[in-house]
Amino acid sequence: MRTSKAVLLAPSVLFTLSVLLALSACTLSGCGRDSGSSVYTGVLEGKSVQVPALTGGEVVSLLVDTGQEVSEGDTLVLIDASELRLQREQLSAGLEELEVQREIARTGLEQRKTDFDYVREREARVRELFEKQAAPQQSLDDLRNEAERARSAYEIARQQVRSLDARRRQLDAQVGTVDKKLGDAVITSPMDAMVSTVYYEVGEAVGPMQPVLELIRMDELEVKIYVSETMLPRIRQGQEATVRVDGVDEEFPGRVEWISPKAEFTPKNILTPETRTSLVYAVEVAVSNPDRVLKHGMPVDVVLNERNRNN
């Protein structure tokens, strides 16, 4: 299994770093008690997607590398599908043979139908003669028996055609399953994103539904900040925010997307009169990043404009 070249912060590390940065920011800025704005510090995170191998097998081609930008629909990985292609050929041969059988069965059905109709017509004529006493009972009985045999042969031929039709539907379903697996052997990107982790190298075997690589969406990032109990009433969902990065003059607009309904204790998880001030609430701020200036794991300052918040 491949070891990623990229150094990404684990979620627990990001959480601890975000909390410590947020508390440090509150200490330095008075927890935002300035006129009209509150400043917090957090770490940018992109939404990640684990891209699985829906069809297991050997990795025969790896078309991307860590840190590469990909677009939705781009081919990322190719899984060996030689066995599936052989199954597809076998099913195609079976369908061809079945089609010959169906043609023979349909021809036989048409013949049985012609024979049955002919015997019924003869039976009707003899019945008419019998009623006029122009034909013996034996002739009528013989034609009735012959008509019954013809009808049975016709019904058997119909059942044979229906059975072959059902077999055709089964093979079509099997072909559809194999075709889907063949398509799944070509792993494509589900979105515009950056490749953050590649888990397998060419030649390694991957199981069905196992993640092959991880993508991180970069066009919109999120930063989680932590606010104290006293600051929570001053923050609303949809509230405007400004994101600042050290070394970059540009400021990035953001908005409050989510406010946690539950408090968290940091650094301790025991509520005592001495640690009550450590009670914080998580707040997620979404930041647009169309030019990819911002990066996953980058520490930033978040300024919440309280004058423009939505009431």
Strand pairing report for 279-288 and 75-79: unpaired
Indicate the pTM of the whole model.
0.71
Q: 240 and 279 share a domain?
A: yes
Contact assessment for residue 235 and residue 256, using Cβ atoms and an 8 Å cutoff = yes
271: in domain: yes
| Residue position matching structure tokens 């540009």 | 250
Q: Tell me which of 169, 184, 199 is where a domain ends.
A: 184
**Digits of tens for pLDDT over the chain (311 positions)?**
665 444 444 444 444 455 444 444 443 343 443 445 678 999 999 999 999 999 999 999 999 999 999 999 999 999 999 999 999 999 999 999 999 999 999 999 999 999 999 999 999 999 888 888 888 999 889 989 999 999 999 999 999 999 999 999 999 999 999 999 999 999 999 999 999 999 999 999 999 999 999 999 999 999 999 888 888 888 999 999 999 999 888 999 999 999 999 988 764 443 445 445 578 899 999 999 988 899 999 999 999 876 555 54
Kindly state whether residue 67 falls inside one of the protein's structural domains: no
The CATH code of the domain that includes 242 is 2.40.30.170
**Domain assignment of residue 18, given as a range:** 11-49+214-305
CA angle centred on 207, ends 59 and 62, rounded to 5° = 20
